Structure formats: structure tokens, C-alpha cells
Chain A
Amino acid sequence: MTGPCPEASNPAPPECERFGDHGGRQGWTMDKRRIFQIVSLFFLHSSSGWEAKWFCLPVLSCHSCSLSWFACPIGVFIHYNGYRVFPFLALGTVLLLATLGGRLLCGWVCPFGLLQDVMYKIRSPKFRLPRWTSWMKYVVLFAMVFLFPLLQGEYSLYSFCRICPASAIQVTLPNLVGQGFQITHSGTAIKLGILGAILILVTFSSRAFCKTMCPLGALLAPFNLISFWRVRPATTECISCHRCDKICPTDARPSVKILESTAPNRAPECIACHDCQAVCPKAGE
């Protein structure tokens, strides 16, 4: 770890951005999120017998994992579309949590989000994806969660479950280990290939999967605009140092919202990580 960033109004040095070490209270805000993510990871995957799979928790965690407590809303929507039954209960629970928190769960609970955050800490050249790539996840949501399962049934080869990287880690890989690494199905190879490509991509670009492919992110993103959860700007006197833009894991450009005197999480890409609050040099003044 590097030392704390200087409290100058200039943008933070790159090493501070990479490791999120901003010292004191600011560092504690980021550590709190990491602790919450790790506790959530163990909590969500600790079911030894009893389960609550009637409840759809909107985070990317495969319900086929034998340790998972809750259902994945994407998997449930895919099946319900295949059944041609309207998912009242699943949609109701997702809508309720989305209205309360927007994409808060993406930043604080999602286990695949934690994996991406950890991968991004690997020392490597970093780059930002073009902004248009963030529209791809809406296409994924529409086509692979609603359209193809509706037309071809729940076992559609083009459903999101077939390429889901969370499912690949939680279910496909353990099964593969159990079978002595014998790939008997081309779908398995494709799924693992996609997982590998995503893990490489997220090493270079922060939360690249969340930004470009996650159908849950696409489902929750519009609710950022209305959710009851509000990330308070750290200051009302923004000096446009753009530290918040640099630290933002999803390139949501919080400074634009702060300058408009709007909560930074009103941007669809925001995962309410509160890192923009933590790095603001004017915070607490």
C-alpha cells in the first residue's frame, strides 16, 4: 500500500486511485464497503440446509450454487418467460429493493462486483471503456433475459444463464473439478471462455462487466433516478478537481451531478459506493 494522498486540490496520484488509500476517515469509508462486501459474500453463500429461494435478491449470485440462500432474479425471469407466466412475486421484490436502493446492492453486496474490484487491484495498465458500451447491457437484458427465453423456452441456448460468469464460477467450475476436468459439452467451454475473457477485461477496466454486460445492472440502473437512497455530495462548493470522477469505479462522472447540486447516484451507472464522498478534498469543511 502507498501512503495517504496529499490533500491538494490537484487530482490524486494514480497509485492512490488504484489502491483507494486516502487515509483517516476517508479510507475508513472505503474499508467499510469492502468489509460489507466480504461479509455479504460469506452470508449469501452459507446455506447448509435451509434456504430462502422464494426471495429474489438482485445481485449476481447463481441460485444453483448449493450454498446460496436466495434466488437470482435473472434466472427466475428467464424461467418464468419460458413458462409464459408473469413473475409477480419476483418482479415485486426486485422493484421494491430497486426503488429503495437503486444500484446500492451492486456496490455493497454483489459478490461478482467484489471479484471485479479485487481483479482491478492487480497491477496492470488501466483504461476506460467507451461510453457507448454501457448501452450493451440493455440489449443483453432485453434479448437474453426476455426475448429468447420467451421465444425458445427456458432452456434457450441464448439465455443469459448460458454465459453467466457468476454461474460459471459457482456451478460450472466446481462441477468441472468434480468430473476431473473433462469438458463434455461445448456450452461449458464457451461459458468458461467468456468467464476468462471477463476476468481479463475487469483487470484492465474497473467494473467492466457491470458497465457493459450485467442484465441486473441494466434492470436496476433506471431506478437510480428515483431511488430513496441518496448519496449526499461531500460539498456544496465543488472546486472541480475531478478526484471523484477518477475514483468512480463505473465512470459515472459524479462531478457532473455534484455541480448540478444533484445526488451523484442519480446517474444510471452509479453503484452508490460512496467513494466520491470519501475522496472529496472539501469534505467536512
Chain B
Amino acid sequence: MNPGTTNIRRIVAFSCLCLALLLILVGLARSHKVYDRVEGEMQEFGILTYQRVTDLQLVIDATFSGVLREGNRLVSTYDRSMPRGKQSCPT
């Protein structure tokens, strides 16, 4: 095999590895605004409450549709103050 090709392959592989680690680090540092469902009086007065959710938690929420997109906001589908337990995705 051409040694030049091998070197290019190694450079690309190491670049991908660095990019992967960078993405993981950024992911670990990131958080997302997830709004609570608006009900009752809060709906009447237009009060919105949200929680900061880590990317780790958002991945977990994605496995059972714990978060939905409504308009431009991410909205929680369950009460985050309660213990969740195992849930499955409705799709």
C-alpha cells in the first residue's frame, strides 16, 4: 500500500477522533431550555416556566419522547419533579 495514502488515512482518523472528543466535550457542557407544560392559571396569565436540561438528559428524553417541539420551544411531556422510571417511546 502507498505510504502516502496510509499517512493521509491516519491524519483523517486522528482528526475524526479529535472532532469526536470535541463534540462529546461540547455536548457535556451544553444545556437546553425545556419548558413545562402550561396549564390552568399559568395559561391564563401566559406564565412560562422552564428548566435547564443537560444534553445527557435530552438524549435520555429522546429515547421515550420525554420532550416535544412546540413552535420554537422544547416542551417536557412529563413532570420532572417526579421519579420517572422506565418509559418507552410512543413511536
A interface list, Cβ under 8 A from B:
49, 51, 53-54, 56, 63-66, 71-72, 75-76, 79-80, 82-85, 87-93, 95-96, 98-100, 153-155, 159, 161-162, 167, 171, 223, 225-228, 260-262
Which B53-88 residues have a C-beta within 8 angstroms of A? 55-60, 62-65, 67-69, 74, 86, 88
**In the bound complex, do residue A228 and residue B13 qualify as a contact, i.e. CB atoms below 8 Å apart?**
yes
A159–B91 CA distance with the chains assembled, in angstroms: 10
Known contacts A79-B65, A83-B74; is A54 also within 8 Å of B57 by CB? Answer: yes
Question: For residue A47, which residue of chain B has the nearest CB?
Answer: B86
**In the bound complex, do residue B58 and residue A85 qualify as a contact, i.e. CB atoms below 8 Å apart?**
yes
Instruction: Name 11 extra pairs, CB < 8 A, besides A51-B86, A79-B65, A98-B16.
Output: A63-B63, A64-B91, A84-B69, A87-B27, A89-B30, A90-B27, A90-B59, A92-B20, A92-B26, A226-B13, A227-B13
A51–B68 CA distance with the chains assembled, in angstroms: 22
Q: Is B17 an interface residue (CB 8 A)?
A: yes
Q: Which residue of A71, A99, A171 contacts B59 across the interface (Cβ within 8 Å)?
A: A71
Give min CB distance, B33 to chain A, whole Å.
11
Q: Can you list 27 A-B pairs, Cβ within 8 angstroms, ordered by A?
A: A49-B86, A53-B59, A63-B89, A64-B89, A75-B63, A75-B89, A76-B62, A83-B58, A84-B69, A88-B26, A89-B27, A89-B28, A91-B23, A92-B23, A93-B20, A95-B19, A96-B17, A96-B21, A159-B91, A161-B91, A171-B88, A171-B89, A226-B9, A226-B16, A228-B13, A260-B1, A261-B1
Interface string of B1-42 (1 = CB under 8 A from A): 100000001001100110111111111101010000000000
**In the bound complex, do residue B24 and residue A92 qualify as a contact, i.e. CB atoms below 8 Å apart?**
yes
Known contacts A71-B63, A85-B32, A159-B91; is A99 also within 8 Å of B26 by CB? Answer: no
Main secondary structure of the interface of B (DSSP, over half): helix
A71–B67 CA distance with the chains assembled, in angstroms: 15
Task: State how many residues of chain B have any CB contact under 8 Å with chain A.
Answer: 36
**In the bound complex, do residue B16 and residue A95 qualify as a contact, i.e. CB atoms below 8 Å apart?**
yes
**What residues of A have a CB within 8 angstroms of the CB of B13 in the complex?**
99, 226-228
**What residues of B have a CB within 8 angstroms of the CB of A223 in the complex?**
16
Known contacts A82-B69, A223-B16, A262-B1; is A88 also within 8 Å of B24 by CB? Answer: yes
The residue in B9, B20, B64, B65 that gathers the most chain A C-beta atoms within 10 A of its C-beta is B20
